[in-house]
Amino acid sequence: MTDDRPLFAAALEPVKAAAMAPVKALFVSDAREGLLLIFVAVAAIVLANSPFAHGYHALFHSVLPFTPVVKLDTLHLWINDGLMAVFFFVVGLEVKRELVEGDLADPQARRLPVLAAAAGMALPAIIFVALVRDDPGLDRGWAIPAATDIAFAMGIVGLLGDRVPQRLRLFLLTVAIVDDIGAVAIIALFYTVKVKAIWMIASVLVAAALAVLNMRKVDRLWPYVVGAVVLWLCVLNSGIHATIAGVVAALTIPMRTADDKPLLARAEHGLAPWNAYLVVPLFGFANAGVDLRGIGLDGFLAPLPLAIAAGLVLGKQAGIMGAVAGARWLGIAKLPDGTSWLQLWGIAALCGIGFTMSLFIGTMAFADTPDLFEQAKLGVLTGTLVSVLIGYFLLRVVPGPAEPESE
């Protein structure tokens, strides 16, 4: 009798590979980061709606018995104004690397994602303002749905494995980086209440000193770190949000030392794991806890959460897809090679994952109105969840990579 077992095992290989693909994807770096953010968001919501809700809020908002910085007298403030400066420092490093040596350095390569990101920020803001126009005071949150969470979005893409072409991953990453640049500019320009001249002058002088270190090609990181901390303290007291110091300090780090060693890359690689696995999750855990008890359908359809969710879901997709279609029609750009319109739609949906940056902007927009910030959190989490479901579904069911589009 012939043994058909090897033949049968070979026939099962494709089925086994398909079944194991999602499991393997869980161990990809991008996927781990995204899953961690999902976990902390769920944990925060569960605690905020449990008998431990009071303890959860007290942990972050109770006045600390001691603080070395008077302005930061709660754990929540230390996370939002202190640890998040590290997040923005890493963002600044990433932005500089992309502008100098990455895809943003090539005018042709950056054209499409920059246009898509600009439209993907403008349209959500327009939708938000249109939906809250009859409610005075809510328009302060216009920038909340304009942001994209890089780690969360790339984490979902990581779960999809090779179903997402590499060029489409790069497109998403570039759009999200341009989004970050826009978000930083928005924070600096529109969420600065009152500037204190003395501290502002001190901030400029410290930034200038860091620039001198750059020009002299100082090849050690510690002088930049010391300067960054001093700059953060000055900016914190100036009235501008302290996290802007992180971006400014990052831009002064040289790409390479005098003997051509990659100084910026060393700093980025050293901080990236701390940023991904401590800073961002801790921020999410401290800010995502929204009390859902007693909130019915009317709560989700209130002007503020509805406007934020609509901006993230509808505005992001329509803005990005519209920009790509317009650029293609005008002949100034084309679809990334090996991608289809449906795949691009899935990526546009994932750009509606606001989470970290959206929550962060929400903390500034409604700093003095906790009730409105709770509504803003509800809108961010709803819009993010819907965007995840739409994006994951589209990228999961769409066939493999398309043929490259002809010029």
Within-domain flag for 248: yes
Within-domain flag for 118: yes
pTM: 0.82
Reported as a single tens digit per residue, the pLDDT across 334-380 is 887 778 899 999 999 999 998 888 999 999 899 889 899 999 999 99
3-state secondary structure 267-309: HHHHHHHHHHHHHHHHHHHHHCCCCCCCCCHHHHCCHHHHHHH
Within-domain flag for 7: no
- Give the separation between CA 348 and CA 120, rounded to whole angstroms: 9
Within-domain flag for 9: no
The predicted pLDDT at position 18 comes to 43
Reported as a single tens digit per residue, the pLDDT across 244-253 is 899 999 999 9
Within-domain flag for 14: no
> What's 320's domain CATH number?
1.20.1530.10
Reported as a single tens digit per residue, the pLDDT across 270-306 is 998 899 899 999 999 999 888 888 777 777 888 999 9
The predicted pLDDT at position 19 comes to 42
Q: What percent of the chain has pLDDT over 70?
A: 90
Decide: 101 and 111 in contact? Cβ < 8 Å: no
Decide: 213 and 223 in contact? Cβ < 8 Å: yes
Counting the structural domains of the chain, the total is: 1
Reply yes or no on whether the pLDDT at 17 is more than 70: no
Q: What size, in residues, is the chain?
A: 407
The predicted pLDDT at position 294 comes to 72
Reported as a single tens digit per residue, the pLDDT across 233-242 is 999 998 888 8
Reported as a single tens digit per residue, the pLDDT across 40-91 is 999 999 999 999 999 999 999 999 999 999 889 999 999 999 999 999 899 8
Calculate the CA dihedral of residues 227, 228, 233, 236 and round it to 10 degrees.
140
Range of the domain at 170: 28-397
Within-domain flag for 150: yes
The predicted pLDDT at position 210 comes to 95
Within-domain flag for 6: no
- Give the separation between CA 63 and CA 81, rounded to whole angstroms: 15
Please say whether the dihedral angle defined by the alpha carbons of residues 153, 87, 117 and 148, taken in this order, is positive or negative. Answer: positive
Within-domain flag for 119: yes
- Give the separation between CA 112 and CA 106, rounded to whole angstroms: 11
